[in-house]
Amino acid sequence: MCPHCRAFITTKDKICPYCNEQVGPPAAARRGDAAVLGGFIPSVRFNTILILLVNFGLYIATTIYSMRAAGGGGAMGIDGETLVRFGAKVGLGYLQFGPLQGQWWRLVTAGFLHGGLLHILMNSWVLFDLGAQVDEIFGASRMWVFYFCSSVAGFLLSAWWSPAISIGASAALCGLIGAMISLGVTQHGAMAQTIRAVYIRWAIYLLIFSLLPGIDMAAHVGGGLAGFALGYVAGLPGPEGSPTERLWRASAWFCVLLTVVSFLKWYLWFTQSPS
């Protein structure tokens, strides 16, 4: 991406074909952080891999709990009672007036749970590529904010729409797709047109997929709209250390902190409530 006009260019371009300015090395190479852990994890996949580790850790925990529970489905299909115990989203009425009143943290924890092996593998496959693309273009701070806010917005709309149990990373993934669509809308050039066309097709496929029984369309729509709005407002990263970038970094850390607090509140409830 050209640092002067922000148009999409290839990695081989030395002169931007749009503004004719000289283009330096990639930002990651200039900072010397092209990889993490001695090159074991590329920097643009570091945040994605952290999310995947949390997802798989919780999937293993829910699988073991489900297998030990009476009538538990195990790895291929984790039972609803186990998912509720581990922080699945429930209806807004339960969070406001029902037995789960005040458990707002479910809007956060639900995004890290999955209902079966196929569910987590499909979401992980999409996240592994999509997360790195968003991270590379928008930066790690924006990626964290997009992911967190889209997931919460998706499950909030889902809780308002239906009392059914809902879990999964797909609301956040729809948010990342929405952010990429916003990039194609706000930027110019052939690459921006390609990005817009590709991710609009992704969004259409997801909406069609959401028509299947048991799929939470409200979470997908809520996450996608939130991601598009955030991507549209956020824009592309500016100079390191600028007030805007410091604000995004602080927002990302706030999202991480709120996630940790949500899981802490879940753990306290989980250990104190009867099984």
Residue 155 CB: number of other CB atoms within 10 A?
29
Do you know the residue count of the chain?
275
Active site residue 182: no
Cross-strand bridge partners of residue 166 = 89
Active site residue 220: yes
Three-state DSSP at 41 gives strand
Residue 198 CB: number of other CB atoms within 10 A?
13
Give the Cα separation of 158 and 160 in Å (integer). Answer: 5
H/E run at residue 35? strand 35-36
In the chain, alpha helices (H): 27-31, 43-68, 80-85, 92-96, 106-109, 117-138, 140-161, 170-186, 190-209, 217-234, 243-272
Determine which one of 170, 182, 188, 251 is catalytic: 170
Show Cβ contacts of residue 213 under 8 Å, excluding neighbours closer than 6 positions: none
Three-state DSSP at 111 gives helix
Give the Cα separation of 36 and 27 in Å (integer). Answer: 15
Determine which one of 66, 141, 151, 220 is catalytic: 220
- Catalytic positions, written as ranges: 170, 220
